[in-house]
Amino acid sequence: MSLTGKVALVTGAHRGIGAACARALAEQGAALILADCLDCRETAAAIPGSSAHAVDVADEASVLALFAATKAKHPRLDILVHAAGIIQEKPLLETGAADFDRVIAVNLRGSFLIGREALRWMQASSPKPGDPARAILIASDMSYYGREQFSAYVASKHGVLGLVRSWAREFAPAILVNAICPGPIDTAMLDAAHMSPEWRAKELQIPLARFGRADEIGALAAFLAGAGGRYFTGQGIGPNGGSIMP
């Protein structure tokens, strides 16, 4: 129970990677604060002692309200896993400014707002020497390369890596900041509402020839949050089945 006594905030906790990360942290003993724009009470119900909160990560007032409510119940924050995000498959010439703005607002502005307030809380919590707090943001393997018809998403996730690298330098050694950059993971983001059958087929053209599982990302988040992650900061770590080998 390496995370016993730690408090963790997980966004995007309604389902998929966020819910899997929450479960993995809870299995290691962390107390969980769960947040999502959708109802994450089902995730919370499966994790004794956790709390569920509504948040629009792109809206500053909503983010500030989330932190005000959770600070009233917890004296400190030790771990952030920011998994909230959206994806959009659309050719550039069909992408309107509103489409682009929405993806950037949720994925990049949301990372900035949640990350800023989490780091502020972590810094005020005075992490113990040798036991730094952890901020883990979910980026994408597409953070490293361009992909046709996903330009807004790629730009947003590339920006997340920029935040991670900057914050890792700014807050070291008291807070370690890393990104997880998954390849194709079998979640709702890969369903027909978000990605065409053609792109789902292309996603399988990787060395491991399968979609990853959300619990595999959760296991990595738990590792980075625990004792094994003490020498990682500013990194983009890629559980991606070999889709990219930076």
- Identified catalytic residue from 144, 145, 153, 231: 153
Starting at the edge strand found earlier in the chain, the sheet holding 175-180 runs 51-54, 31-36, 7-11, 79-82, 133-138, 175-180, 236-237
Q: Is 135 helix (H, G, I), strand (E, B) or coil?
A: strand
Element at 54 (helix H, strand E): strand 51-54
Closest CA to 137 of 86, 77, 183, 81: 81
**Alpha carbons 59 and 7: distance in angstroms, whole number:** 24
Q: Does 144 qualify as catalytic in the annotation? A: no
List the one residue out of 151, 144, 116 whose CA is nearest residue 9: 116
Contact present, 229 and 223 (Cβ < 8 Å): yes
Residues labelled as active-site residues: 153
